[in-house]
Amino acid sequence: MAGTGMMEPTPLAGISYVTPPEGTILSARDGRATVPCGGIPIPLREEVVAALLPGEIPSYDAVGDGLYQALRQNPGCTFADHYALLLRDAYPHLVADLATQLLMLEQKDVDILYLDRLITALRIFLLMEPENPLFLKQIGRVYREKGLRLSALNQTTRNLYHSQGYLNRALLLTPEDPDLLLLYGDVSWLLGKYDEALESFQTACRIGVGERSLELEERLGRLEAGAHPLVPAVDYLEAIGVALNLQQQQEYAEAAAILWDVLDDEFFRQQCPLPEVNYLLGRCYEALTMPKYAEECYAEALVKRPDYEEAQEALRELTGKG
């Protein structure tokens, strides 16, 4: 499409594009479903494109499948907003399928791969309803969760900034949602943006947060007194990610030293009671043949999270107590 002034479509695995003539409208279900698809590149499975005759227009089902696959691969692809609206208006069965997947993902504790799928599904729905603060809020919440996962701490800064960006957009639409204000304040605190956290918490306190009022007052008191970690929490989280990489490379002493530096900041330890840090330190001590220290670390991890299965199993194996 060079020289036409039209943006190039995003390359996607297994996807090719066709551009039907201007004014092309597909019709299906006895005219109850129509798809205006002329004039822009339409994503289709490669095998569908290979089977098309010269000048042939793809079928209604082939277009829907192609739109769906393209958005699930990359909801930020070129023309994504147009694809999402076509999906919304002409393919309710595919939207329903996406909604079912979203509900399933939201109802269970999932790993990073599934968190990414959850973010993708939410971003597709946001493309369909770009001014829906609930989708913005949920995307921000999931990015925060991803940013705190042990296996993704090497990208925690990126994930937390993504979280803050979506939450900020949600606040522009619903500036007096107390749960949203608390979430935005927490992410700002993690990033070391204490003035933004303070303002967000103060607004939430003024509105009222019910059962969380005591916790909020305590956080406000610390912020107003200037009490916070020696370095922003996000830096400690990145350091834990470095320690995890070192542990995986069997550099146990170096990993343990970093983890002790993190745990040495009492304020961070109290405000971010991450059992994963104690568990990882226990693994390092166990590899360094220091079982007593390893046992203490696993036990501390279980104090912070009694249902932490990895720490439970490690402690059982170490002590021989079933």
What is the DSSP annotation of 38-58? Answer: TTS-EEEEHHHHHHPPTTPPP
What does the alpha-carbon distance between residue 49 and residue 38 come to, in Å, rounded to a whole number? 16
DSSP lists the bridge partners of residue 34 as 27
Ordered by start, the domain boundaries in the chain are 15-90, 233-319
Is a pLDDT exceeding 80 seen at residue 31?
no
- 52-74 average pLDDT score: 94
Range list of β-strands (E), the chain: 15-18, 25-28, 33-36, 42-45
Amino acid in position 235 = D
pLDDT tens digit string along 86-142? 999 999 999 999 999 888 877 666 688 889 999 999 999 999 999 999 999 999 999
Q: End-to-end alpha-carbon separation of the chain, Å?
A: 66
- 283-287 average pLDDT score: 96
Confidence of residue 201 (pLDDT cuts 50, 70, 90): very high
What does the alpha-carbon distance between residue 7 and residue 68 come to, in Å, rounded to a whole number? 20
> So what's the pLDDT on residue 321?
60
In degrees to the nearest 10, what's the CA dihedral of 42, 48, 49, 55? -90
What does the alpha-carbon distance between residue 252 and residue 96 come to, in Å, rounded to a whole number? 48
Q: Backbone phi, then psi, for 253, in 5-degree steps? A: -65, -45
- 204-211 average pLDDT score: 90
User: Which superfamily does 233-319 belong to?
Assistant: Tetratricopeptide repeat domain (1.25.40.10)
Q: How far, rounded to the nearest angstrom, does the alpha carbon of residue 158 sit from its chain's CA centroid?
A: 10
> So what's the pLDDT on residue 271?
84
Tokens of 307: 């249902």
Positive or negative CA dihedral for 111, 81, 37, 56?
negative
